[in-house]
Amino acid sequence: MSMENVWITYRSMTRDRSIRAKTVNRELIRRILSYGHPYRLFITLFLLTLVLTSLLSVAQPLLFRRIIDQGISVGDSRLVTVTAILIAVIAIVDAGLGLVARWFSSRIGEGLIYDLRTEVYTHVQEQSVAFFTRAQTGALISRLNSDVIGAQQAFTSTLGGVLGNLISLVIVLITMFVLSWQVTIVSLLLVPLFILPARWMGRRLQGMTRDSMQLNSDMSVQMSERFNVSGALLVKLFGRPADESANFSSRAIQVRDIGVKMAMANRWFFTALTLVAALATAITYGLGGNLVISGTLTLGTLLALVGLLAQLYGPLTALSNVRVEVMTALVSFERVFEILDLPPLVQEAPDARPVAPGPLAVKFDDVWFQYPLAAQVSLASLESIAREDANEAGIDVLSGVSFEVPAGTLTALVGPSGAGKTTVSALVNRLYDVTGGAVLVGGDDVRELRMQSLHDAVGTVTQDAHLFHDTIRANLLYAKPDATEAQMLEACRAAQISELIGALPAGFDTVVGDRGYRLSGGEKQRIALARLLLKAPRVVILDEATAHLDSESEVAVQIALDSALIGRTSIVIAHRLSTIRRADQILVVVDGKIAERGTHDELIAVGGAYFDLYDAQFAEQAVSD
């Protein structure tokens, strides 16, 4: 029995057999086949090479029979030479067909992986922010890696394996029956002795493989959480490196121990299969040898049967588990389709139009909003703990909010934490859709505007601006890929960050590190503001952009903010008193409603909610100013 056939059997026997209970969905099959349509020519040629390979694998034992019975036995050296050359040619052709089959297989498989990965990635990018607040990053990456590769196996490993084994089995059985029905029947009677130990050991390996995957996953989670900047910093600050090492060592020991068990189980598995195959070969020689002595069988036929026997058990046992093979591949497809079938919460209208040219006003017209339920935006399989959050149980986050920000003016939002200020800013960007009323930009409902046009017109800087683990240049160009060096310099000057960049040895080509952690908070915010200025939006939203900065950084960022807001329609969720004082209007948001509105002086004179907030939050700052 060849090692290739042993491996086929091993893979078949160690599949997760719990999947057997699933049923085949015809709609799913049709959908899967649609992905193979672009590769139908390659698939046809791939299957043709499998047929030819199976025929050649049978031809070789038959030629060995000929060289012995009709050549060596009768002393025909010419026939021996010609047949030997023919065997060599067939071996070369078979090797060539193997390479061709592998090329077709990889071309189909890698093409399918590319198609699925790009489709899933694009679809995930279209999901709303609500989707990303719930789905685990690791689970999404798994869909793009493990499940996509598992789905690909339906077209290559499973398709090629099932059809290739079926073709090979039929051809081998027919040939063996023609050569000797007695030996063939005895060989088939030995199949249970071949399958039963494989199944028993396969079940053990399946359990250990599952445990090993879980243990490795736990170890990987610990590494991913501790190896990023935030996790490593937390470990250092709390003085826990020794505890972390001990915890990791404990997990690594478990991985080591189960690895040893799996190695021994694998050796027992292959040893059992090899012994059973040797037993079958011995019986064939014993029975066939007696038939040769009695004159019923020729010596060449016996050797041909032994050669064919080596090609019998692998395909036979693999086909006995064909349902497990197929269902395993189908489950991977189902998990990929589960992502693709989740519609984005926020979608562009078919007849969407671009944002109007010129200065833009922003208007909230009786806006009501509730955060979407988990079932609307995510999948339970993408969350380690899938549950409804208390603040999502039909509670209005905004209730009848109405206000207008005239073009070119500054509106400040203030209020206690959780009042709904950030939600207001998210609705302007259309990160979510309102549940009642309308948000208008330039006089048009944002739901009727093209998404790209809206995002070009509206720019946002949050209190924790994100930078990619790339160069400063790459992070700036993310806002405007065709920006020139001069434009980047101008944006950086306006953002009060040009001197710092100029002092760096690599300048714009300095790598900022994971999430920009190689920079200070103020430096990160100023680069984010430079990125905003490079984008040059007509509407600017600042969501507590200076909330967690030290005084020196806050002053520098505030100067940059003043530059960013000139001539632009601005909505600022503010902590700094100077920004609020010069706002054209201040909206006090309390419990999802506009409790008060007016200028700083007007609201102070009223002595209401704003005065209380001012007295509690800003009085000390006013003294320092």
Q: Using 50, 70 and 90 to split pLDDT, how confident is the model at 615?
A: confident
Q: Report pLDDT digits (tens) over 170-212.
A: 888 899 888 888 888 887 777 776 666 666 666 676 667 667 7
Which of these ranges, 57-66, 132-141, 206-215, 383-392, has the smallest mean pLDDT? 383-392
**Residue 1 predicted with pLDDT over 50:** no
**In 3D, which of 369, 274, 314 has the Cα closest to residue 9?**
314
- Kindly give the pairing relationship between strand 444-445 and strand 593-598: unpaired
Q: Report pLDDT digits (tens) over 385-427.
A: 545 454 454 688 999 999 999 999 999 998 888 888 889 988 9
**Residue 12 predicted with pLDDT over 60:** no
Half-sphere exposure (Cβ direction) of 270: Cα atoms closer than 13 Å: 13
Q: What is the dihedral of CA 431, 433, 435, 440, to 10 degrees?
A: 110
Query: What does the alpha-carbon distance between residue 247 and residue 243 come to, in Å, rounded to a whole number?
Result: 6
Q: Report pLDDT digits (tens) over 509-522.
A: 999 887 787 888 77
Threshold 0.75, pTM exceeds: no
Query: What does the alpha-carbon distance between residue 411 and residue 573 come to, in Å, rounded to a whole number?
Result: 9
Name residue, tokens 């049978």. Answer: 58
**Residue 9 predicted with pLDDT over 60:** no
Q: Report pLDDT digits (tens) over 345-374.
A: 888 999 999 999 999 999 999 999 998 877
Query: What does the alpha-carbon distance between residue 404 and residue 439 come to, in Å, rounded to a whole number?
Result: 10
Which helix (H) or strand (E) segment holds residue 462: the answer is strand 458-462
Residue 386 DSSP code? -
User: Which residue segments constitute the domains of the chain, with CATH numbers given?
Assistant: 3-340 (1.20.1560.10), 362-381+388-467+536-624 (3.40.50.300)
Query: What does the alpha-carbon distance between residue 525 and residue 464 come to, in Å, rounded to a whole number?
Result: 8
Rg of the chain's alpha carbons, rounded to an integer?
35
Report the 10 Å Cβ neighbour count for 126: 15
| Cβ atoms of 317 and 269 closer than 8 Å | no
**Residue 214 predicted with pLDDT over 50:** yes
Q: Report pLDDT digits (tens) over 288-337.
A: 888 888 888 888 888 888 888 878 777 776 676 666 666 666 777 888 88
pLDDT of amino acid 3: 46
Query: What does the alpha-carbon distance between residue 151 and residue 147 come to, in Å, rounded to a whole number?
Result: 6
